[in-house]
Amino acid sequence: MPQKTIILKFTKLLSIAMFFIATTCQLNAQKIKIDGVAVVIGKNIVLDSDIAKFKQEVELRSEGKITITDCEMLEELMQQKLLSHHAIIDSVTVLDAEVNSKVDQSIQFFTQEYGSLDKVIAAYGFNDLDDLKGELYNVQKDNILVSKEQLKITEKVDVTPEEVRLYYNGLKDKGELPEFTAEIELAQIVMNSAPTLEENNRVVKELNEIRQAVIDGSSFRMKAIINSKDPSVTQNGGRMEVTKESGFIKEFKEVSFSLEKDEISKPFKTLFGYHIIQLHEVNGNTRIVSHILLQPEIPEARLKETQLKVEEIKRDIEEGKITFEEAVKKYSEDKDSKNNGGVIINNYTGETKFDLTRMDPAMYARVNDLNEGGFTNVFYDQTRSGEKMYKFILMKERTDTHIADLVEDYVKVQDLALRKKKEEIIEKWSKDKIKDTYIKLGEDYKKCSFQKNWKKVTSR
């Protein structure tokens, strides 16, 4: 397969794989004394081990569908380092808040993927969480520099309708029109089943009793292990690092920063339930805390009452007594969809469309057989924060898998054309910048055939 085709296919994996590889780059540069230098670009270095690890990560992420040579991988890494180098020269600014936000997102993502933070730390050879966060800061800062430099280079790039048409016809003539997978748009009506006031008061009373027991000498950690509904209490003794930029819920952060060392908060409420927090350490802008979470119980009778009400709403819509949109406005309690006709937003894309083949398996099973205008049965659901509810879903729109059509898929084709034009602009920029950038290739890679003139061979 030609190098260009391979690069285009694995470029989308770069943002995920770069976490591991760039982190390893930093660690290797600091901790490994003997390792071959593949290339130096400006002040940036790529090691032989980086290439091997990057290849492994890309092949893993693509489930073995993409294989790539060392030379092809090196060229992709050189492109990233070139962008990063010139972002510094062009005075591209990166704020600490931006980097810290990305660091927190990365930690949450990989903790979820590996099952625990300890497993992430162990898998990639870090000493502890501080070691991981320090390296991640450098990685994410570099990633943001690359992204901002790309935006700077292409900020004025656009495509005209004629360019979109020519792009589409070019793909059509070569028999390379893309296949767009099945997409759907969904809307929902949700009713929550809330606990009674008496049950909320019971939980607050129990937390106050636990708090007093700890003040009187009991172990907060043992009380958390016995009582807390948060399974993370078994990890790291239940201790967590909280910063103002971290992904913790607002109320949790506010209480964490309001406490004195060793102080235990009074019970407070979040979407997850009721908490008490103990502050263990203050490290600059970081708070080390533990918490106990209790969630009010909802009796079966109350759940059944909610289910019957939602089934009645669905029946009224089907009988024409009320429209779906009117019912959303009148009854639905989902704050994210209530004000836009019940339409569900795809959290991965920020759009209203879902790729049917990449949906959560449980949701796929519910909606796969629906035609446009069809409803699911009323079903029980529960959020990660413990909210219990009944809901049903409407299939608003459905487009089956098909070959790209210029009229029906104009926006998607336009996006592809724009991306291609931006890639071409960056390619041209790269070829120009290579001429004026210090580049030194290791001996083992001077035999590679690159797309760009990284070797700076003079034309005759």
DSSP string, 299-344: -HHHHHHHHHHHHHHHHHHHTTSS-HHHHHHHH---TTTGGGTTBP
Is 271 domain-assigned? yes
Domain boundary among 294, 326, 354: 294
Same domain assignment for residues 441 and 377: no
The answer to whether residues 385 and 432 belong to one domain is no
Question: Which of 92, 94, 93, 106 shows the shortest CA–CA distance to 134?
Answer: 106
In the prediction, which pLDDT does 457 show? 74
Q: For 257, what's the count of Cα atoms within 13 Å in the CB-facing half-sphere?
A: 15
pLDDT per position as a tens digit, 113-138: 676 777 778 777 787 777 888 888 88
pLDDT of residue 385: 66
The reply to whether 395 and 418 lie within a common domain is: no
72 with 142, same domain: the answer is yes
Confidence of residue 10 (pLDDT cuts 50, 70, 90): very low
pLDDT in tens, 255-307: 999 999 999 999 999 888 899 999 999 988 889 999 999 989 888 889 999 99
Rounded Cα–Cα distance for residues 228 and 315 (Å): 40
pLDDT digits (tens, 9 = 90+) for 20-29: 444 444 444 3
Q: Assign residue 288 the CATH number of its domain.
A: 3.10.50
455 domain residue, yes or no: no
Domain tally, the chain: 3
Quickly state the pLDDT bin for 213 (edges 50, 70, 90): very high
Q: Is residue 51 exposed (0-12), middle (13-18) or buried (19+ Cβ within 10 Å)?
A: buried
Residues 392 and 417 in one domain: no
In a domain, 280, yes or no: yes
CA 188 to CA 340: how far, in whole Å? 10
- Give the structural domain span for 222: 197-294
Q: Do 41 and 142 belong together in one domain?
A: yes
Q: Are residues 153 and 103 in the same domain?
A: yes
pLDDT at position 68: 85
Answer yes or no: do 22 and 60 share one domain: yes
The answer to whether residue 188 is domain-embedded is: yes
Instruction: Concatenate the DSSP letters of all residues of 173-240 into one string.
Output: HTT-PPEEPPEEEEEEEEEE-PPPHHHHHHHHHHHHHHHHHHHTT--HHHHHHHH-S-GGGGSGGG-E
Q: What are the residues facing 187 on neighbouring strands?
A: 343, 394
Determine how many CB atoms are found less than 10 A away from the CB of residue 409.
Answer: 19
- Average pLDDT score, the chain: 86
Task: Identify whether residues 7 and 133 lie together within a single domain.
Answer: yes
Task: Give 458 or 96, the one with higher predicted confidence.
Answer: 96
pLDDT band at 458 (very low <50, low <70, confident <90, very high): low
Coil, strand or helix: which one is 399?
A: strand
Q: Does residue 421 form part of some domain?
A: yes
In a domain, 458, yes or no: no
What are the tokens at 377? 């049965």
* 305 and 366 within one domain: yes
Determine what percent of the chain is predicted with pLDDT higher than 70. 89
Q: Are residues 50 and 133 in the same domain?
A: yes
The CATH number for 134's domain is 1.10.4030.10
Last residue of a domain, one of 294, 318, 341: 294
Give dist(CA 234, CA 268) in Å, integer. 22
Decide if pLDDT at 416 tops 60: yes
**Distance separating alpha carbons of residues 217 and 317, to the nearest angstrom:** 58
Helix 129-154 vs helix 14-31: angle between axes, to the nearest 10 degrees? 130
What digits encode the pLDDT tens for the residues 76-95?
999 999 999 999 999 999 99
Domain membership of residue 258 (yes or no) is yes
* Strands ordered across the beta sheet of 286-294: 240-242, 286-294, 273-283, 268-270
Neighbours of 436 (CB within 10 A): 8
Whether residue 168 is contained in a domain is answered as no
Alpha-carbon distance of 256 to 287, in angstroms, equals 7
- Regarding whether 339 and 231 lie in a shared domain, the answer is no
- Give residue 156's pLDDT band: very low, low, confident or very high (50, 70, 90): very high
Q: Which residue has the higher pLDDT, 240 or 40?
A: 40
